[in-house]
Amino acid sequence: MEKINGLILKNLLESGALNLSNQRKAVDAMNVFPVPDGDTGTNMSLTILNGISEVTKSGSESLSTVAKIFSRGLLMGHVVIQVLSYLRFSVVLHNMQRTKKNLQ
């Protein structure tokens, strides 16, 4: 029986990320929680790709190192997406307030 190592884990993660990326629009279409904004597949894909990118940059083949780097990459990718979502919401809110003011 073959044991998993960092290289095998990296290959599994890359395969999963590619599959999610290929199905991103289908996941976006299913999005209903917590807000049906239609970008869950995109956000998941970007988050996982950030984790993969960090693993690739590390060049590590150690199982524990690949797992740690991937999880940290996921967290940082999620933080970036949250910041971008907040900025997008802020722009929409600002435009709504400007439109309301112009209509008064």
Average pLDDT, the chain: 84
- Token couple for 74: 């996921």
- Whether pTM exceeds 0.75: no
At a CB cut-off of 8 Å and minimum separation 6, what does 7 contact? 61
Question: 47, 72 in Cβ contact below 8 A?
Answer: no
Question: 24, 45 in Cβ contact below 8 A?
Answer: yes
State pLDDT tens for residues 45-55. 888 999 999 99
